[in-house]
Amino acid sequence: MTRTVLPKLAAVSIGLLLLASSAKAEYKNFRVAVYARAYEVRQMKDPAWLESRWATITSGLHVDKIYLETHRDGVIPDQETLDAVKRFFHSKGVQTAAGIATVVNERNRFETFVYTNPEHRRKLQEIVEYTAKNFDEIIIDDFFFTSSKTDSEIDAKGTKSWTQFRLDLMAEVSRNLLVGPARKVNPRVRMVIKYPNWYEHFQYLGYNLEEEPRIFDGVYTGAETRDPVKGNQHLQQYLSYGLFRYLENIKPSANGGGWVDTGGWRDKERYGEQLALALFAKAPELTLFDFRQLVAPMRGNPQGSGPSTIPGYAGSVFEQVDGFLGRLGKPIGVKSYKPFHSSGEDFLHNYIGMLGIPVEMTPTFPVDAPTVLLTESARFDPAIVSKMKKQLRDGKNVVITSGLLKALQGKGLADIAEIECTDHKAAIRDFPGGNGAAAAHIENDIIIPEIRYPTNDAWEIVTSATRGIGYPILLQASYGKGILYVLTIPDNFGDLYNLPPQVLNPIRAALAGDLPVRLEGPSQVGLFAYDNGKFILQNFAAPGGNTVSARAVVDKKFTRLVDMVSGQKFSGEARGDKMVFDLSLPPASYRVLSAE
């Protein structure tokens, strides 16, 4: 390998940067990793190129690990390069691991390997064996799915649905082309599968959340929510928290971390949110994708305030979160049963999370939970009605959405309550109040399905009205010792954010009343609760948006709240058996609070 001699001034500059980076202390409560694509790994054979860019990255944050990719788009760094690059990072005290992108042509709509093609299967196994020979940890980037419908796949599919065929195929590929060959070459190797953010549709493309976590040693979470309005996926920010918790509940203590990239943000705060929310969910590691993006010019910082580089901004987020993260307990929330390979009311859990209702998705029915939230995806469990009945007769509460109500009509739900989701729609703006709630009016129509119910067998907790006709937003009906709630979901889930506090507060009380803290106030304020009296409130408004006023409702035994970052103390006001605290949240900010 040819060694490039750096000009004296450049060498001094790099040395100063490296000295500065060495002063960055490691974080106490999590690790930070950087992912480098095969393209950049290949370029790392030039030591001057690598030194300068690594100095830029580490000038702003501490890095514990780097994932060095061994394949993407047919690009495979050679052995000499891998050897040199590993020596470089080990000399910096940085752990090395590998990544594999199972993509043939990323630019062609993420063209993946054809897993029924013997040539493709042989090539993938060779890549895995080459990688396992060089590394003790391998992460599979989030292209490990199949959208191909070639003749060989059509023939192999037979009479199966595409979903079932792909689920079976990718589980077989996981065993026989990835994990099995890797362990044969290197018995010490740890195989990790990274899942992307589009979890509602995993099963259609072969991502098998039931089998793969058993096959692989660990999983990893794509926390990339980016811009919820202008991004092409329109994913809500809460997903960066909620998806980590779901995968943690699928493979406890083996969810390796949250994965964040810089793509698609308008404001740098959208990037910072992804980092912070994954850590709020107790991710043990954050991976920054990718080496190339981290040395790109900073975007979303028009006023020029704060750090001027992406690593510097990420480092500032990490330093603040690290200051309080160790004092937070275990995350808690309303348990929501989402069976394996299910879909329906896609990503609704995240919209509910954006209403200040902590949602903890789980792949098994949570029989011990005092309240269970069930969206339409629960219909994929053929025994769901019997599980609801048992839960209710045991004295617990079940909240179902209008989507699940409609899906279960004629399938036994009438044994609990003869409530019906009709095909009629209503455009609502008015909420008459009642049950202790004030009336409210909004300026734009919200389209909702009509829920029909027998008078005096079910009761409206929250009502809407238009032209003299009422439409329930939240219903309750008793069954055994428990209560069934039916929550009406607007046709456009985003209209949940237009519901006024007078409507949202009783919904929060029904869903999250069992939690030690409850939010009152407008939508798009997140609540993240922990089992030791700590909680976080976050205003998801973009920079330049509104400062919001919200209330935290806790048990009356707590007489004050303490801001764990600033030290500010808040006094509350008694309301029955609760203590209520008024709080203000600037846009794109959060408060970390301790009830004392």
pLDDT value, residue 434: 75
Task: For residue 254, count CB atoms less than 10 angstroms from its CB and return exposed for 0-12, middle for 13-18, buried for 19 or more.
Answer: middle
Q: Take residue 517 and report the two structure tokens written for it.
A: 């803290």
Nearest residue to 29 via CA among 60, 55, 68, 64: 64
Report whether pLDDT(52) > 80.
Answer: yes
Coil, strand or helix at 537: strand
pLDDT value, residue 520: 97
Task: Quickly state the pLDDT bin for 568 (edges 50, 70, 90).
Answer: very high
The pLDDT of 302-319, averaged and rounded, is: 83
Q: What percent of the chain has pLDDT over 90?
A: 86
**pLDDT 10s digits, 505-533:** 999 999 999 999 999 999 999 999 999 99
CA angle, 70 then 72 then 77, to 5°: 35
- Separation of alpha carbons 154 and 392, rounded Å: 46
The pLDDT of 391-414, averaged and rounded, is: 98
Between these two residues, 421 and 110, which has the higher pLDDT value? 421
Report whether pLDDT(456) > 80.
Answer: yes
Coil, strand or helix at 333: coil
- Separation of alpha carbons 272 and 263, rounded Å: 12
Q: What is the mean pLDDT of the chain?
A: 93
pLDDT value, residue 1: 34
Report whether pLDDT(20) > 80.
Answer: no
Residue with tokens 């703006």: 429
- Separation of alpha carbons 318 and 55, rounded Å: 18
pLDDT value, residue 303: 53
Report whether pLDDT(13) > 60.
Answer: no
Q: Take residue 408 and report the two structure tokens written for it.
A: 């279960």
pLDDT value, residue 230: 77
- Separation of alpha carbons 125 and 497, rounded Å: 48
pLDDT value, residue 433: 82
Coil, strand or helix at 64: coil
pLDDT value, residue 17: 36
pLDDT value, residue 305: 63
CB 353 within 8 A of CB 242: yes
pLDDT value, residue 382: 98
Q: At what angle do helices 310-325 and 268-280 cross, to 10 degrees?
A: 30
**pLDDT 10s digits, 228-263:** 887 777 899 999 999 999 999 999 999 999 999 988
Q: Take residue 528 and report the two structure tokens written for it.
A: 């993240």
Q: Any residues with CB less than 8 A from the CB of 48 and at least 6 apart, and which?
A: 4, 6, 10
Q: Which amino acid is at 514?
A: D
Coil, strand or helix at 85: helix
- The predicted model scores a pTM of 0.93
The pLDDT of 71-95, averaged and rounded, is: 98
Nearest residue to 131 via CA among 71, 83, 44: 71
Cβ density class 453-486: b for 16+ within 10 Å, e for less: beeeebebbbbbeeeeeebbbbbbbebeebbbbb
CB 539 within 8 A of CB 524: yes
pLDDT value, residue 308: 82
Report whether pLDDT(304) > 80.
Answer: no
